[in-house]
């Protein structure tokens, strides 16, 4: 009776995701599957194209038994913090046997070896990393450079070019973070790497057989090209996406929040902007100036961007300011939030309630009176994220807040 | 060589406004005319339908020599504070001979007599007023009731029904505030009342000869009914309005800020909402709840409204939250901001620079380095108001901030 865990966003769920899920089941022969999913905002620093309940339904229709929400305080952050939240939740369930992820690199051993360095941060490596950062590079490229310098000459890591390319691919970067946190949390969960097929997440215009990037699919969905989408998405997932679009609830994009973000940043004093998560080293001045000089979100990002601050990091900062996410110490997850489950998933929930020390929330209203401060803070941010997300809907009656209290879990 | 002052919003400037201006010139035989005008947000608690520079141009084309800006901290407030700001500015110029206003009541003596009570607030009157307020009525109706009780039996005020109706008409209410502040500031300015003709400001669907309410005109402008508008607006004013609409800069309405206001209020904690100007007596709870339950601004207003909190007061509160206007003590105007002038107006500016102790701002950029804290705070709010206002424009390139620095005064 083994349990498979997968960390996902399914934004939207496509053939590549389905391939990964089915391959993971094949490899692990797991009986139960659990998905840890981002809520209404995702790691690229954007609102999800469709809401979390619709994406939950897609995951359940794909075959998952249980979908749990990754609290928003982890969702819109760097790969490191995103992975920390997701792996912590999986680990805290105390029943998960496998964590399967897609990555460009098939060789789990080499990934583990790299992750070991990241997890333990030997002093020498850390010194080089600091130098790279001080030179004004982004964290991702600083880390890749530092790692290459640190292992210099050690051929057990394999060919240098190969290592370099591993460190630069977006799925590997996430995979390495998952592995890092499994090591740091001393988790017994066994990592499984499934080689990604099809184009990379970030390729907008490339399709390959029946696989296309989520970005390409989101762009295609905006144009209502259902014929094209049908090649790359399972029918159930396309139906869910279509229903959301037809009802005026999708696609939600960051442009829906142009007015809210511009008005807010123009109004925020510098010291408040500097307190936003991910704003550091005087970036508040660039943000303040750009907010005044820009008439759209893309212009705003362009005006803030620099060698050090990648587009994704800036997009995350914009969401953090929209949601009022200010700097505070990173805390472990406070709860297990059930977004949906299948018949089989019901048994998994029972099992988790026995094995996990965290409260398992199936109906948020049961927790309205819960007094724990850290719990309240974390959950309030999830509720707010939804309340802000729904303001993008085209029908006034759909923009009502409090969905997290009103909507029960999705059941199939 | 006499100077006429008029306090106005010209939102938009129509035949009734022109009639008032020309009649005021006739009565006073003034050589120069000065308009104190709201900036981009107006006293009804709304953004102005067209921006302050376009409305300045309309005022200059109507014949004004000089248009000065009423700082936004007075604009979006109660009649009392609006009048305080405007009368203070007029008075501080030290050259103005007449203040002319439109009011439903022609009899300046009766208005002055009532204003005298409001200005001096005899203890007996104040006690009754407090009782009325405690009974949960709005300020306007509490004051009308208190006044009637206070003067009970004093026939020198004239017929009771007449007094009552005076106290309930919106233009009289403003006129009484102007008079009150002239008394309180011991101003030598002579008040002049011109009887309003045409329908009341708030009548949406009533036209009368060549006069229509500004509200009716704004609604008609939304539908681009230029033929109808031409009956009620001087051609120059209609052209300005049309140009703004054709270029995607009008009509600006509070609905343009739906997303910004809903996102902001949903995110603001209760203690921050309670610090917003005009929020008192636990109204923050109603606002917070309504922000969650409403999908549009009209629904939001409806959900907050009560006997005590009028629609206009709530609309003002929404703007105050959008602009981040928090409670602080009311301070006198810190500067004279020139929005526009005619050839003749140039002489008036010279004259004012000699007579007035406040700095006279013709180009905002001259004041970028000005250090006075109260000045900086007041001016920062004007700049922010414009920077938020322009986010409503339909073309991205027009949404750039800093217009208050970039645009010089309008000259005709």
Question: Which A residues in the span 292-311 are in contact with B, Cβ-Cβ below 8 Å?
Answer: 292-296, 299
Neighbours of A1 (CB within 10 A): 8
CB spacing of B263 vs A324 below 8 angstroms? no
What ipTM describes this predicted complex?
A: 0.92
- Write out pLDDT tens, residues A62-121: 999 999 999 999 999 999 999 999 999 999 999 999 999 999 888 899 999 999 999 999
Runs of H (alpha helix) within A97-200: 108-120, 123-134, 139-150, 160-168, 170-184
Give yes or no for a contact between B233 and A233, defined as CB atoms under 8 angstroms apart.
no
The beta-carbon neighbor of B397 closest among A262, A295, A401 is: A295
CB spacing of A402 vs B266 below 8 angstroms? no
| Segment-wise mean pLDDT, segments of 10 residues, chain A, 412 residues | 95 96 97 98 97 98 98 96 98 98 91 95 94 86 90 79 86 96 98 83 62 89 92 96 96 96 96 95 95 97 91 96 92 97 97 96 90 93 97 96 95 96
Confidence of residue B207 (pLDDT cuts 50, 70, 90): low
Is some CB atom of chain B closer than 8 A to the CB atom of A323? yes
Give yes or no for a contact between A37 and A52, defined as CB atoms under 8 angstroms apart.
yes
Phi/psi for A318 (5° steps) reads: -60, -40
pLDDT at position B199 over 80: no
CA distance A233 to B286: 45
**A391: closest chain B residue by CA:** B259
CA distance B366 to B369: 8
Q: Which chain B residues are within 8 Å of A387, Cβ to Cβ?
A: 266, 292
Cis before A12 (ω within 30)? yes
Fold of B1-104+169-252+330-412: Rossmann fold (3.40.50)
CB spacing of B263 vs A256 below 8 angstroms? no
CB spacing of A266 vs B293 below 8 angstroms? no
Is some CB atom of chain A closer than 8 A to the CB atom of B332? no
Burial of B402 (0-12, 13-18, 19+ CB in 10 A): middle
In percent, the amount of chain B with pLDDT more than 70 equals 97
CB spacing of A295 vs B256 below 8 angstroms? no
| More confident position, B369 or B277 | B277
Give the per-residue pLDDT at B162.
Answer: 83
CB spacing of B400 vs A295 below 8 angstroms? yes
Confidence of residue B206 (pLDDT cuts 50, 70, 90): low
**A392: closest chain B residue by CA:** B259
| More confident position, B153 or A291 | A291
Query: DSSP assignment, residue B366?
Result: G
Give the per-residue pLDDT at B41.
Answer: 98
The beta-carbon neighbor of A391 closest among B262, B397, B402 is: B262
Give the per-residue pLDDT at B137.
Answer: 82
Mutation choice for B interface testing from A255, A263, A326 by most B CBs within 10 A: A263
Shortest Cα distance, chain B CAs vs residue A207, angstroms: 32
CB spacing of A263 vs B293 below 8 angstroms? no
CB spacing of B401 vs A264 below 8 angstroms? no
Question: Which B residues in the span 243-282 are in contact with A, Cβ-Cβ below 8 Å?
Answer: 256-260, 262-264, 266-267
CA distance B173 to B176: 5
Give the per-residue pLDDT at B156.
Answer: 80
Give the per-residue pLDDT at A371.
Answer: 87
The beta-carbon neighbor of B295 closest among A256, A262, A400 is: A400
CB spacing of A260 vs B259 below 8 angstroms? yes
Neighbours of A125 (CB within 10 A): 18
Give yes or no for a contact between B87 and B5, defined as CB atoms under 8 angstroms apart.
no
Please choose, from the candidates B155, B63, B1, the residue with its C-alpha nearest in 3D space to the C-alpha of residue B341.
Answer: B63
The beta-carbon neighbor of A262 closest among B266, B391, B398 is: B391
Q: Which chain B residues are within 8 Å of A296, Cβ to Cβ?
A: 396, 399
pLDDT at position B244 over 70: yes
Q: Which chain A residues are within 8 Å of B270, Cβ to Cβ?
A: none
CA distance A406 to A377: 19
Give the per-residue pLDDT at A266.
Answer: 97
pLDDT at position B362 over 70: yes
Give the per-residue pLDDT at B204.
Answer: 52
Give the per-residue pLDDT at A204.
Answer: 52
* DSSP-based three-state secondary structure for A254: helix
CA distance A53 to A71: 14
Mutation choice for B interface testing from A254, A256, A257, A259 by most B CBs within 10 A: A259
- Write out pLDDT tens, residues A386-410: 999 999 999 999 999 999 999 999 9
Q: Which chain A residues are within 8 Å of B392, Cβ to Cβ?
A: 259
Confidence of residue B205 (pLDDT cuts 50, 70, 90): low
* DSSP-based three-state secondary structure for B80: helix
Confidence of residue B202 (pLDDT cuts 50, 70, 90): low
Please choose, from the candidates B396, B397, B395, B361, the residue with its C-alpha nearest in 3D space to the C-alpha of residue B379.
Answer: B361
CB spacing of A259 vs B262 below 8 angstroms? no
Cis before B2 (ω within 30)? no
CB spacing of A259 vs B264 below 8 angstroms? no
Confidence of residue B21 (pLDDT cuts 50, 70, 90): very high
User: CB under 8 Å to A103, separation ≥6 — which residues?
Assistant: A111, A169, A171, A172, A174, A175, A193, A194, A195, A196
Angle B386-B390-B391 (CA atoms, 0-180°, nearest 5)?
125
Give the per-residue pLDDT at A72.
Answer: 97
The whole-number average pLDDT for the span B225-240 is 95
- Write out pLDDT tens, residues B327-343: 988 899 999 999 999 99
**A296: closest chain B residue by CA:** B396
**A268: closest chain B residue by CA:** B324
CB spacing of B291 vs A401 below 8 angstroms? yes
Average pLDDT, chain B: 93
Structure tokens at B200: 């009341």
Give the per-residue pLDDT at A307.
Answer: 83
CB spacing of B399 vs A262 below 8 angstroms? yes
Q: Which residues of B9-34 are buried (b: 16+ CB within 10 A; e: fewer)?
A: bbbbbbbbbbbbbebbbeebebebbb
Q: Which chain B residues are within 8 Å of A253, Cβ to Cβ?
A: none
| More confident position, B209 or A48 | A48
Question: Which A residues in the span 376-395 are in contact with B, Cβ-Cβ below 8 Å?
Answer: 384, 387-388, 391-393, 395
Shortest Cα distance, chain B CAs vs residue A396, angstroms: 5
* DSSP-based three-state secondary structure for B304: helix
């Amino acid at each position: 009776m083994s349990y498979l865990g997968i960390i996902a966003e399914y934004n939207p769920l496509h053939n590549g995701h389905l391939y990964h899920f089915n391959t993971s089941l094949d490899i692990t022969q797991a009986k139960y599957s659990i998905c840890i999913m981002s809520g209404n905002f995702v790691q690229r620093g954007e609102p999800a194209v469709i809401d979390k309940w619709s994406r939950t339904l897609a995951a359940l229709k794909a075959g998952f038994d249980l979908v749990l929400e990754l609290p928003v305080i982890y969702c819109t952050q760097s790969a490191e913090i995103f992975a920390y939240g997701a792996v912590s939740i999986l680990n805290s369930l105390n029943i998960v046997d496998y964590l399967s992820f897609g990555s460009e690199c098939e060789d789990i051993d080499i990934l583990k070896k790299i992750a070991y360095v990241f997890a333990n941060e030997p002093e020498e490596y850390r010194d080089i990393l600091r130098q790279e950062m001080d030179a004004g590079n982004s964290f991702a490229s600083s880390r890749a450079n530092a790692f290459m310098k640190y292992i210099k000459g050690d051929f057990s890591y394999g060919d240098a070019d190969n290592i370099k390319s591993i460190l630069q691919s977006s799925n590997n970067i996430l995979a390495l973070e998952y592995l890092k946190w499994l090591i740091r949390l001393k988790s017994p969960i066994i990592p499984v790497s499934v080689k990604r097929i099809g184009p990379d997440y970030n390729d907008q215009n490339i399709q390959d057989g029946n696989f296309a990037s989520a970005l390409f699919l989101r762009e295609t969905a905006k144009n209502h090209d259902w014929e094209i989408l049908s090649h790359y998405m399972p029918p159930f997932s396309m139906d869910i996406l279509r229903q959301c679009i037809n009802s005026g609830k999708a696609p939600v994009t960051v442009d829906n929040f142009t007015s809210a973000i511009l008005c807010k940043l123009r109004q925020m004093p510098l010291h408040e902007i500097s307190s936003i998560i991910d704003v550091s080293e005087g970036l508040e001045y660039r943000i303040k100036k750009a907010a005044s000089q820009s008439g759209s979100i893309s212009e705003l990002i362009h005006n803030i961007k620099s060698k050090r601050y990648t587009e994704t990091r800036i997009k995350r900062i914009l969401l953090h300011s929209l949601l009022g996410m200010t700097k505070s110490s990173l805390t472990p997850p406070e709860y297990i939030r059930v977004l949906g489950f299948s018949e089989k998933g019901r048994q998994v929930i029972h099992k988790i309630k026995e094995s996990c020390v965290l409260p398992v929330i199936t109906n948020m209203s049961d927790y309205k009176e819960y007094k724990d401060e850290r719990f309240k803070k974390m959950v309030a941010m999830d509720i707010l994220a939804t309340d802000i997300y729904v303001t993008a809907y085209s029908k006034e009656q759909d923009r009502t807040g409090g969905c997290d209290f009103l909507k029960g879990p999705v059941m199939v």
